[in-house]
């Protein structure tokens, strides 16, 4: 036993040391994977080639890590192992932080090599300490526990990346990055009100702004079958990808993430990945021509579309109110916050300002007696008051007016 522990440790002490060493090993792997996690935005920011990126994440790191580990292991057999682990942790953490300040490939390579030298000093003394602190009968268990640091590090490095839970408004903001989006609408998009029907968006080719494109994606015409709607969603995807491919900066046209939806969009846009769509069979059985898929194919296509851009699309038969949102406060941050909340709870159709600012109370007004239950349900979710404003010519079911008492429900 070396000079950092001269007597047999207690069970409590040895397990405390083991847990601390495992945490150090976890951070070892988190810091090691940071460059891999962020490689796409780093590549774009520093103008790196694939060869340079491969050198940074693979060969150079491994070569220095393996080489530096041998003398550090020799030193661990002859000096204080605890201090070696502490110094190594401090050094690789410092070099990881320095990596965020680099301006070119050479600087990043030097910082990356510093990380590999520091991390090479973590495992040899840790294994040595565990072997001394745990008797042969429990040493395998201890080493297995220590090895969990690898997988915990990978979990925290890769397991909590971009997760896209997006409403129609936020989806519109994402689409705005690549607007205008060239789109050929095959059918008129129809809205209904008390006076009958009207065309919201006419068929034909048109460039769409992001906000309008998001509405097109979620739109369902009265009585429309899923196959038609899914086909329109697929067409919008293709138009979006075409706009991304034409952008001067692929990262700016998506989002600067290296996992999740962003790299998938870039890969699709430049042809590195493919979207597979099931063929739809035309049918003239109804009053209007439709495209028909069997039940399994329709479910698959709907699931695929929702997985790529999961929007809060109400299930058939579920009553969701169409809403006009009016700002009665005059505070942009409150208005944006309310817009995001209301969009998650309803179909937000119109956004604007109230007749005046400084209104004290948030209200949900219904314009048809039949919509009173919808108003009460939404008001309960928003902690708002219900008001009656009967006007059958209103194009929306409810009007939500934000007042000074607004709070996130």
Residue with more model confidence, 392 or 380: 380
Average pLDDT over residues 43-60: 79
Look at the alpha carbons of 380, 383, 385, 389 in this order and tell me if their dihedral is positive or negative: negative
| Statement: residue 385 has pLDDT above 80 | yes
Q: Which of 5-9, 96-100, 301-305 has the highest mean pLDDT?
A: 96-100
| Statement: residue 239 has pLDDT above 80 | yes
Residue with more model confidence, 311 or 352: 352
Core vs surface per residue 213-236: b (16+ CB within 10 A) or e: bbbbbbbbbeebbbbbbbbbbbbb
**For residues 265 and 251, is the Cβ–Cβ distance under 8 A?**
no
pLDDT of residue 311: 37
Residue with more model confidence, 285 or 337: 337
| Statement: residue 101 has pLDDT above 70 | yes
For residue range 347-381, list pLDDT tens digits in order.
877 777 887 888 899 999 998 898 898 889 888 88
CATH 3.30.590.10 for the 11-158 domain, yes or no? no
pLDDT of residue 181: 87
pLDDT of residue 5: 46
| Statement: residue 159 has pLDDT above 60 | no
Q: Which of 33-37, 102-106, 149-153 has the highest mean pLDDT?
A: 102-106
Q: For the domain made up of 322-402, give the CATH fold.
A: Alpha-Beta Plaits (3.30.70)
* Sequence ranges of the domains in the chain: 11-158, 168-308, 322-402
Average pLDDT over residues 111-126: 87
pLDDT of residue 409: 64
pLDDT of residue 401: 92
pLDDT of residue 1: 44
State the pLDDT confidence band at 197, using cuts at 50, 70 and 90.
Answer: low
State the pLDDT confidence band at 318, using cuts at 50, 70 and 90.
Answer: very low
Quote the pTM value: 0.40
Domains 11-158 and 322-402 fall in the same CATH topology:
no
Average pLDDT over residues 324-350: 82
């Amino acid at each position: 036993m070396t000079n950092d522990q001269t007597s047999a440790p207690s069970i409590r002490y040895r397990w405390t040391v083991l847990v601390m060493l495992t945490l150090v090993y976890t951070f070892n792997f988190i810091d090691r994977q940071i460059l891999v996690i962020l490689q796409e935005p780093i590549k774009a920011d520093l103008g790196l080639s694939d060869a340079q990126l491969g050198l940074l994440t693979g060969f150079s790191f491994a070569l220095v890590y393996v080489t530096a580990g041998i003398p550090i292991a020799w030193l661990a057999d002859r000096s204080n192992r605890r201090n070696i682990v502490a110094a190594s942790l401090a050094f690789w953490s410092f070099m990881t932080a320095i990596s965020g300040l680099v301006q070119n490939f050479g600087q990043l390579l030097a910082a990356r090599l510093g990380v590999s030298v520091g991390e090479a000093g973590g495992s040899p003394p840790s294994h040595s300490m565990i072997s001394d602190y745990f008797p042969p009968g429990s040493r395998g268990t201890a080493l297995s526990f220590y090895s969990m640091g690898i997988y915990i590090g990978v979990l925290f490095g890769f397991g909590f990346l971009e997760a896209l839970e997006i409403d129609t408004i936020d989806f519109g903001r994402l689409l705005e990055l690549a607007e205008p989006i060239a789109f050929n609408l095959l059918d008129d998009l129809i809205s209904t009100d008390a006076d009958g029907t009207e065309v919201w968006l006419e068929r034909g080719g048109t460039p769409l702004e992001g906000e309008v494109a998001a509405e097109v994606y979620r739109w369902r015409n009265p009585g429309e079958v899923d196959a038609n709607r899914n086909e329109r969603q697929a067409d919008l995807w293709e138009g979006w990808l075409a706009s991304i491919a034409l952008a001067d900066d692929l990262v700016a046209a998506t989002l600067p993430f290296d996992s999740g939806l962003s790299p998938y969009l870039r890969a699709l846009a430049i042809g590195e990945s493919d979207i597979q769509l099931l063929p739809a069979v035309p049918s003239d059985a109804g009053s209007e021509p439709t495209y028909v898929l069997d039940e399994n194919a329709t479910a698959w296509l709907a699931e695929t579309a929702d997985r790529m851009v999961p929007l809060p699309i109400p299930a058939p038969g579920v009553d969701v109110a169409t809403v006009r949102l009016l700002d009665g406060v005059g505070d942009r941050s409150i208005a944006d916050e309310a817009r995001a909340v209301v969009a998650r709870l309803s179909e937000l159709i119109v956004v604007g300002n109230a007749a005046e600012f400084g209104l004290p109370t948030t209200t949900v007004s219904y314009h048809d007696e039949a919509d009173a239950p919808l108003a009460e349900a939404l008001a309960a979710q928003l902690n708002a008051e219900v008001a009656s404003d009967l006007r059958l010519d209103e194009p929306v079911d409810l009007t939500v007016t934000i007042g000074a008492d607004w709070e996130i429900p």
